[in-house]
Amino acid sequence: MRGFTFSTVLAFFISTLSVAAQDPGVLRLGSAETKVDLTLQDLDALPQSSFTTSTIWTDDAVEFSGVMLAEVLKEIDANGAEVELVALNDYRVKMPFTVVSETAPLVATRMNGATMAVRDKGPYWIVFPYDSDPEFQTEITYSRSVWQLSAINVLQ
């Protein structure tokens, strides 16, 4: 009887967990027309970019590498007024499409060549080349620097 109760409770917890948790390695890309799930393998297959910059989150300058947000958005032919960035903890911020350029921001998949654990702001992190422009050293840009990125939504 006791064994039955324990395994029943265990099975319940396991099924609850698998429903509740989104795989942190999956980046959901969505617009009104399309939804695409991108894995690290998918992101690695897109054109890669990198830059080295200091940040308010790190002691030293670091090299970020990954895929420019502009390149990721091309995957769904995205065009809209705003891009909404969503984190694993449901932190979300909207920014105008005009912020997205060929040089920023980057959907970073690696810091100093290594993938990032969720506890290290990974696996995906929206970063800007902060050192390259005073405009990137502002509260608004910091608020758009979403770590533990889980979804990108294109809004009309």
Ligand X SMILES: Nc1nc2c(c(=O)[nH]1)N[C@H]1C(S)=C(S)[C@@H](COP(=O)(O)O)O[C@H]1N2
- Nearer of residues 59 and 139 to Mo ion, judged by Cβ: 139
Rounded distance, CA 47 to CA 68, Å? 8
Report whether 34 contacts 76 (CB < 8 A): yes
- Nearer of residues 57 and 97 to ligand X, judged by Cβ: 57
- Nearer of residues 45 and 140 to ligand X, judged by Cβ: 140
Contacts 24+ apart (CB under 8 A), 132-135: 132/51, 132/53, 132/103
CA 56 vs. chain centroid, Å, equals: 18
The CA-based angle 85-98-151, given to 5 degrees, is 15
Q: Is 8 in the site for Mo ion (CB under 5 A)?
A: no
Rounded distance, CA 59 to CA 94, Å? 28
> Which parts of 62-81 interact with Mo ion (CB under 5 A)?
none
Query: What's the min distance (Å) between Cβ of 93 and Mo ion?
Result: 9
Query: What's the min distance (Å) between Cβ of 140 and Mo ion?
Result: 9
The stretch among 2-10, 36-44, 126-134, 139-147 that binds Mo ion (CB under 5 A) is 139-147
- Nearer of residues 31 and 141 to ligand X, judged by Cβ: 141
The stretch among 32-40, 81-89, 109-117, 142-150 that binds Mo ion (CB under 5 A) is 142-150
126 Cβ neighbours under 8 A, 6+ residues apart: 69, 85, 105, 106, 107, 108, 144, 145, 146, 147, 149
Q: Is 138 in the site for Mo ion (CB under 5 A)?
A: no
- Nearer of residues 33 and 90 to ligand X, judged by Cβ: 90
97 binds, among Mo ion, ligand X, none (CB under 5 to 8 A by kind): none
